[in-house]
Structures are given as C-alpha cells and as structure tokens.
Amino acid sequence: MTTIKIHNSKTRRKEVFEPLDPENVRMYVCGPTVYDRAHIGNARPVIVFDVLYRLLRHVYGEEHVTYVRNFTDVDDKINARAAESGRPIAEITAETTQWFLDDMGAVGALEPDHMPRATAYIAQMIAMIETLIDKGHAYAAEDHVLFSVGSYAQYGALSGRSVDDMIAGARVEVAPYKRDPMDFVLWKPSSEDLPGWESPWGRGRPGWHIECSAMAYEILGESFDIHGGGNDLTFPHHENEIAQSCCAHPEGDFARVWMHNEMLQVEGRKMSKSLGNFFTVRDLLDNGVPGEVIRFVFLSTRYRKPMDWTDEKRAEAELHLRTWFRSTENTQPNPDVSELIRALINDLNTAGAISVMHSYQSRGDYGRLRAAMDLLGFPKAEEVDWFRGGTEMASFSDLADSADVLWPLVNRWQHLRDRKEYTEADDLKRKIENAGLKLSVGAAGPNVERLDSYDPTKLIDLI
C-alpha cells in the first residue's frame, strides 16, 4: 500500500497517514456559509481538499473513501442578507448553495459524498447539547446554552495557546449570563422574525460550532480520519469543535488528523473590498479566466504556504495549460504516474506535482501528462476549446502570439536542466534571451518574462 504522509496540525509534525479503517477512509471539511458568491479565497480549501480526496481515492479505491463538506444555512449573515433584500431565507440559501456548487465545479472540484445542510440536523444538534449538559460540560442561562470551556482540560491544544492568551487575543463576547469569558454559545434564542426551532431551552437556533460536530458525528461517527479547513478556522471554530465533540463522545477521538491550508493574497496584499482587490470566482470566470487556469495557479503553491494570486501567475498558467492541452489532445493516458504520486503523498505537494508534469511535457511523455492531468482534476483537452490555434483568450498574455514557438523551446531548456546537461541548457537559454526574454525557474516550473526588446522572430531559427 502506498504510504501517505500528512502534516498534522494537532501534533505539529508530518506523520504517516494510517486510516482507522482502510475500507472506509473518512474526511470532513468545513464548508461555506451560503449568503453570497464564493470569493477567490474560498476556493483554496475546496481545491486543496479536492486533490486530497482524489489522492485518497487513487490509493484506497473510490468506494472506500467518504468525503463530507457541509453547508451552513443558518447564520446571522444570512439573516442580515434576507432583511436587506426582503427575500426569504430559504430562497437565498438555495440560490447561493447552487452558485457555490456551480463555481467549484468550474474549477474542477468533485462534489463530496455528503453535503449536509445545517438546518437538516437541528435535532442532532439539540441531542448533542443535551448530552453536554447532562455530563456537566454545558449550562443553560437566560434562554442560551453555553459550553463550559473550563470543563475540558485539553482546550487550546490544537491552536497551541493558553486560555489566558486566547482571551487577550480574541474578541470575546461579554455577556452577564456567561460563567467564564471563554464559554461559547451552543444555542441562542430567536425572535419571531428570525429562524428558530423548538428546544428544551425555548425557541432558538444553534451556535456555529455545534453544527459541524453534530453533522460529523451523525455521518462519520465519533472518530474519523481527517478534518480540514483554512487556518483561519483553527481558533475558535476547530478548537471548539474538538472540545464539544470529545466531551459529548469521550469514547472517540473526533478527528485524528487535522489539516489547515494557508490564506490567499492578491498581488501581495490581503484581499479586501477597501483595497479594491476583492473578487469572486464567478468574477474571474465571467471575465474569461477558465476554471482550469484558476486551479493551476492554486496548485502551483503548496497548501501550507501563503498563496498569492497575481495576473502574472494567471498568464503563466494559461501558457502552460495551452501547451499541455495541445500535447495531450487525442492522446491515450499512461496510468503509470508514480513520479506524480510520490510528490502528492509527501504532504500533498501539488507544486512538486506540477513540476513533474512539466517534466513529462519536456520529455514528450504525453500519455503520462494526460493521466496526471486527469488525476489532478484538469479537464481533457477534447472538452475545452480556448487553447486551440486561432482561438485566443481575451485575458491571454502578450506572449501568446508566439506560444507555439516559445514553449517547446522553454520545455527543451528545462529538459536539458533536468538531465544535468547544463552546457547545452545554458547555450539554449542564452539564445532564447537574445530574443528579448528572461528565463527563470519557480516552484511551478519555468517562468518567462518579456522585455521591451522582445522579438519573437528571433526564436524561429531555434526550432
């Protein structure tokens, strides 16, 4: 059996992944709150864990992997959107849920095996809250139910911070009914104009954290293999999930492995509406950027490193994919992609996998390249049109007019370097750069920068 190694956020080290049951490998990933379009940062965990899902299915078999990603469809942001728009909450959540599925499908993400909606699991949440109260880990106060953080000695183990540090660094809600400032809400009352369900504590709705605990337990059991999400969820959401789940079901481990992806920036800056660099996945798609280009840019950075979306990376992705599609069209896949798998089983090294695919391209191994593209979730060349001759993308880089000439040369240069034939590689690089280009190598493979002196006609004699 292929050995996968994963960096476990809980233990802070890379570990050999050993599923509880190889016949039923189970993974839970926190999904979106459905009140608006998914912004570009929301797509990162979707793509990261989609690749992990594909890898697990490749190693253990499709029928032996269960992937759960939830939809939060009861939330104060949803309530606010309904109040602003005058539209029913159910209509808003149904629409935005489908938007999310459509947009994530466009970037190549498979749909998980289960996509539970929070509102369909209210009874299970109430039952878990009752269990926590019975065991002394929660208490009712002024129509609220709160989890008693002090009742769980391991609180803070995931984030690695003491309770005092968390109080100092977090915006903790101050409320007179709390026994401790760190206690968090499991259930809260609802006024008549807000969604609500009958409970032993009156009409109300669940707190955010209890949702994932109840849905994970109901679908995956008291112990499962992997829990994933963005690192912005480590505290308080995932910390609180662990506390309430382990206290409600101490016979289990909840999630044995925790995986967190780093955040996304745009052109080196945090994405923000105030900075004018905030955009959604749909914005990119509607402006002519194919989903597979978005996917390529994301996979070019390892999931535990901050990712920077730039127009230069988008243009490079378009160039690389154009070459790959042209090379693999009507090509039979060669399923022996062991080099690619070696990269992925090393803590999901997608940047390394992209480099392997560049190597396949440079040595003309188009069957393996096609199989690798399939495994990483890229569409088949026959399913897309934009890469074919004469069909330029509106957003394509200025280098595109010479892509048919340039990229075979760049791939030849990279292949010579891979074979350590450095004299020949340096000679070819010098000739390419004499045409007004600058070559370099990044984590995702060769990079090309066009200088003011660029003259594509000087490349033709090199073919």
pTM recorded for the entire structure: 0.85
pLDDT of residue 35: 94
**Residue-range domain boundaries for the chain:** 13-264, 312-462
Ranking 289-293, 391-395, 412-416 by mean pLDDT, the lowest is: 391-395
Mean per-residue pLDDT for 41-47?
A: 97
User: What is the rounded average pLDDT of the residues 164-178?
Assistant: 67
Chain centroid offset of residue 182 CA: 29
Calpha distance 348→231 (Å, rounded): 16
Parallel/antiparallel/unpaired status of strands 264-266 and 269-270: antiparallel
**CATH match of 13-264 with 3.30.70.20:** no
Beta-carbon neighbour count of residue 162 at 10 Å? 11
CB neighbour list of residue 79: distance below 8 Å, 6 or more residues apart: 89, 194, 195
Say if CB 298 and CB 47 are below 8 A apart: yes
pLDDT at 1 over 90: no
The H-assigned helical ranges of 38-181 are 43-60, 76-85, 89-106, 122-134, 163-169
Q: Express each pLDDT in 414-449 by its tens digit.
A: 878 878 889 888 989 998 898 888 888 876 677 888
Specify the pLDDT at position 408.
72
Q: How far apart are CA 13 and CA 9, in angstroms?
A: 7
> How far apart are the C-alpha atoms of 453 and 458, rounded to whole Å?
11
The amino acid sitting at 372 is A
Q: Which tokens sit at 391?
A: 């069909």
pLDDT for position 342: 97
Structure letter (DSSP) for residue 232? G
What 3-state class would DSSP assign to 92?
Answer: helix
